[in-house]
Chains A and B, each alone.
Chain A
């Protein structure tokens, strides 16, 4: 059974600081997603990573994937308050006849002024 582990689960940081969220998974996969969820809201797609070495960046967020290490990172640069949310990584694997998405537990990010 695929296990997806995120750390840290809780992250409190000051504005302007940098930090990285890690996502480890236990089974070979080449499809990994990062999502953001604001309180009481649904999931917003941030990035999809499809190959080893893939790097995607948008604004203050950058995601990367190392399929050999089964590791993805979400790096936050110069954090601002608006980035406060819960961030999920999710790994897609082919099971039977379909892809199946398995989520990490999420990282609750709080950016303090």
Chain B
């Protein structure tokens, strides 16, 4: 499966500031995904990022709040803008590997996550 390096692993930020999270994949992938996991909750898809095009945002998420860059096939960034305490969450990037017959596990691989606390 793909190896994903995500950073920072955690940060504590002041409200009103912005944080950019980076995600680097060890090989080229078409789509990269950004998720949010609020404390004690499940994962919610923020947006899908294709190289060379605008990210596609899910309902409830907007580009002004969560701008995404995808400059090449191995890298993406998510910025959490004008942060408030409600943005305190774990943010994860993910990529998909095409399935192949007989494999027990494959599909989506997740980065190690960025634990964001806004104070």
Contact with A along B18-58 (1 / 0, CB 8 A): 00000000000001010000000111110010000000100
A25 at the interface (CB under 8 A from B): no
B107 at the interface (CB under 8 A from A): yes
The B-contacting residues of A in range 85-113, CB under 8 angstroms, are 88, 90, 92, 96, 98-106
Q: Which of A40, A48, A58 contacts B106 (CB 8 A)?
A: A48
Q: Which residues of chain B come closer than 8 Å to A48, judged between CB atoms?
A: 99, 103-107
Q: Which residues of chain A come closer than 8 Å to B48, judged between CB atoms?
A: 98, 100
B28 CB, min distance to chain A CBs, angstroms: 17
Q: Which residues of chain A come closer than 8 Å to B33, judged between CB atoms?
A: 101
B108 at the interface (CB under 8 A from A): yes
In the complex, what distance in Å separates the CA atom of A23 from the CA atom of B107? 18
In the complex, what distance in Å separates the CA atom of A43 from the CA atom of B112? 8
User: Contacts A45-B105, A47-B105, A48-B99: A101 and B110 contacting too (C-beta < 8 A)?
Assistant: no
A101 touches B42 (CB 8 A): no
Number of interface residues of A (CB under 8 A): 26
Q: Which residues of chain B come closer than 8 Å to A46, judged between CB atoms?
A: 105
Q: List 26 A-B contacts (CB under 8 A).
A: A33-B107, A41-B112, A41-B113, A42-B111, A42-B112, A42-B113, A46-B105, A47-B105, A48-B103, A48-B104, A48-B106, A58-B104, A58-B105, A90-B43, A98-B48, A98-B56, A99-B96, A100-B45, A101-B33, A101-B45, A101-B108, A103-B43, A104-B42, A105-B41, A105-B42, A106-B42
